[in-house]
Chain A
Amino acid sequence: MQQPSEEPERNSECSAGTSGESTAVRQHESTPGGGVEPKEPLIQLYLADSVPLLWRSAHVKLARERLGVVGAAVGSLARQPRQNCRLSRPVQLLWEEARFLLENGRAELVKALKPQNYEQEIQSYAHYLERNHEEQQTFALEEKKQVLKRVMEDKCKDGASAPSSIQSVKGSLDSLESSFKFPCSAVMVQLCTARARFSYTPEERLWLSAELANPVDERQKVRYRVFSDLREKGYYLTSAGKFGGDYLVYPGDPLRFHAHFIAVCVPLDKETPFSDYLSLSRLGSNVKKTILLCSPSQTDANYVHYTSIQWSGMV
């Protein structure tokens, strides 16, 4: 699960602004003519209240399977919305996760623009509804036919049923075409999760987001260095707020594995009372995880010191 470090060239893409186009064609998608292997689309990050969110399932999948960025699903699950065990899109990312994606050139920050041509979109929406109704009607008709046919076959095979009843089924099957009605209320309509279809507006890429591009304070700087180092070592990370640490460290995908460590980010030069470490290790042993003190090196930008605490016995 090591992510490849090749960086998709960002600069070639920012040359022409996509914001002016009314159609929703993304530049990096419209250039498959290059002939080489189809490039992976950039993961689109949306900011809501300065929280980075992923909306498209393809992007969530890409982030998790290729880059090991897990995030946390916060939306209701489509098939069973009223429970909290399994949640769905949107997927909320940690600040460090979003930055990690951006730094690796695998994501872009996008922002919705106001759609420009309402009349046209309303028209095409009405058209879509009409077509949707028609097509579903043909499916429903077909389904009904199949049911009736099966009923007739069963009756013929049975032999016991009166010929009049077979006749009546046959009659209704014949008149089905003309009598069949598929009411509007029975049409299935989609409630889109991510922005799509006619309301899909050209989106403006935000190249520089002050919040995501640069760590705000020293703590964020330390946290990010620890995050990227552990991620590059192949670990999966999630937030460890409820364990009193910074990250929970998993040996593999959190879907299948237990976390081994609770990572606590401590700058090297920070003086911490010993009681803090005691309470941390006490907590760690209670939840059967190892406390990992992570301190980025002050001399080597790519090195992080890891220390773990263990109770020791004295005989």
Chain B
Amino acid sequence: MAEAEERNAVDSGSAWTDELLSPSELFSVRTRDHKIPTRGQKEFLYDGSEEQVERLQWSLGEHWKLLSEERAERQGSLVKAEWKPEDVTVELKTPAGKFWQTMGYADEGKQFLQPEEALFLMECGSVEVFYRDLPLSIQEGYELLLGDKTISLLEYLVFSHLKRLGYIVNRFDSSAVPSVYERRLNLVHKREKQSKQQRKRKRSASARRSDDISEGQPDSQDVQNRREKAGDDVFMEGTSSDSQKAVGMNYFSSSAISSEDVCHELPSNSEQKRPDWWEKKSEEAPSPGRPVYFKQSAGKRDLNKVLFPNLGRDCLHTNLEIPNACLLPSNVTAKACNISSWREKLNMRQMRLTRREREELEKKNKYKRGVNEDKEVRACKNWQEYKQLLERRSQSSSEQRPAHLWNDAVCPLVTPGQVSSTGDLLQQISIMQASHLVDDAVGLVADTCDKRITFDVYQADTAFDFKKSDPGKPYSRISVCSFEDPVPSLHTLKRLAQQSGDVPVTFAVVDNGDISFYSFKDFWLPTDVWQ
């Protein structure tokens, strides 16, 4: 303290030297107190008493001491870095510290920090950033590292607030969020694998692929991509859900559309070069007991190698004959094959259900009638006959309707057989449809609001097993607003919610340094009728 006072006396007038520590002060910093003084109870009235003034002076003294404290660190514990304004990034010059687990990214063997990460680490006394071979002060950091090209001051305040609380905060990358299409097909796993490979490169590199998919341009590359993905997904599901096999073995049949889609491309590409999957020798399988298709799902898929064994567990025939051509779509060709080698590889064990599971299954199927139980349907020889049968039935049912009800301009809202449950019926006759946050903003006035999601936030307690390459699903996503801004419109809310997918969007509202967090939650009105 004595030294500090002396220093103040010597050059109190100068603008900057009074905040510069002398070598002796720097040396004494190593024994500095790291505790934060407690503030004590506040007072309600200003009574002008001596004690009150004294307490105020003491508090202020503590306050100024804390506020004027300068950062000083051992040179050995500081990571040196350089600000690269042309790339808008900060490159590490010495090996990164512990922060590397949750911050920074590597590119071509070099380590980089995002500008806001570097600035935060400067404030924590972990990193010393140089620009033109001179160290930056925190102030210069705020001036250089924040701005139009990086993030705004407001956003940085939110970032540093969350970082100080221990959260892991990354920039939000809209291309990393699976599109609605991908989510519906449950392509998220695949997605994460890709991003793992791509994150090492520049972050924006992953943008193109996802754009392809979400915009759905009809170029052939894209279509092929989709097919690969669709096929891949089906098998991922089929193999991962072993426990559902008994119930869901019809998976393969339900996936027939997508596999046929892929199949019909096969002949043109691989007629001579490659034998079909069923002719493949078993040695070619990568590991005994594991189907070939499983391994290939990891890397980039070669469409010619995709294999689609469509076997049900109840299929007793190992010699599959050529299917009747009239049962197939016109553009699909088929061959006879022997599937016995495949049968050996499949897990054919009977699925044992517990009593409860069995009961549930029975309950589920109680009111369902398989289409095969219908004798008339079984009598049909091909698709055409079946469709004709359906046509006939619908005609006859409408003929039976009483004319006085159905032939006037005003007729019942619902036709018999149109809905199968009370819930469906209510849905059918409701005038106002409920809308959810992630639904499309149809009919809403588009506003010119430039609100965006800035950060992905991961919870603090995941920090020790957090992987930058595979961060998983964020806890929340943050959009930063000022208190002066109007409340975001429904259109903006929907846009951001859609961008964010199934992760909630939180609005960080900054009011002169104070940050409060708000979020809008979807709400379902309870309905009395369910199912």
Contact = CB atoms under 8 A, between A and B. Distances in A.
A48 interface: yes
Given A48-B146, A188-B27, 11 more contacts: A58-B19, A86-B36, A118-B133, A139-B24, A139-B27, A186-B75, A186-B76, A187-B75, A189-B72, A190-B71, A195-B16
Given A49-B153, A49-B154, A79-B32, A58 B137 contact: no
Given A79-B66, A189-B26, A194-B16, A53 B76 contact: no
Contacts of B124: 76, 81-82
Nearest to A198: B134
Interface stretch (B56-64, B239-247, B422-430): B56-64
A122 B27 contact: no
B70 A78 contact: yes
Interface in B126-180: 128, 132-140, 142-143, 146-147, 152-154, 157, 160-161, 163-166
Interface string B57-88: 00110011011111111111110000000000
Contact of A242 (B39, B132, B153, B511): B511
Contact of B29 (A72, A92, A188, A198): A188
Interface string A143-163: 000000000000000000000
A74 interface: yes
Contacts of B26: 132, 136, 188-190
A190 B21 contact: yes
A122 B75 CA distance: 18
Contacts of B122: 191
B516 interface: yes
Q: Which of A26, A71, A76 has the most CB of B within 10 A?
A: A76
Give the interface size bracket for A toward B.
35 or more
Interface in A109-131: 112, 118, 121-122, 125, 131
A29 B13 contact: yes
A73 interface: yes
A56 B110 CA distance: 35
Contacts of B74: 185-189
Interface stretch (B40-48, B263-271, B277-285, B328-336): B40-48
Contact of B71 (A78, A118, A238): A78
A255 B65 CA distance: 14
A146 to B, nearest CB: 13
- Which 10 A-B pairs rank lowest in CB-CB distance, beginning with the nearest? A185-B76, A241-B511, A72-B513, A57-B68, A135-B23, A192-B137, A239-B512, A76-B123, A191-B71, A188-B26
A311 interface: no
Interface of A: 24, 26, 29, 32, 38, 41, 44, 46, 48-49, 51, 53, 55-58, 60-61, 65, 71-90, 92, 94, 112, 118, 121-122, 125, 131-132, 135-136, 139-140, 183-200, 238-239, 241-242, 251-253, 255-258
Interface of B: 13-21, 23-24, 26-27, 29-30, 32-34, 36, 39, 42-46, 52, 55-56, 59-60, 63-64, 66-78, 120, 122-125, 128, 132-140, 142-143, 146-147, 152-154, 157, 160-161, 163-166, 483, 509, 511-514, 516
B227 to A, nearest CB: 48
A206 B364 CA distance: 76
B140 A199 contact: yes
B64 A199 contact: no
B139 A255 contact: no
A73 to B, nearest CB: 7
A76 B30 CA distance: 19
Contact of A191 (B55, B138, B154, B483): B138
B19 A57 contact: yes
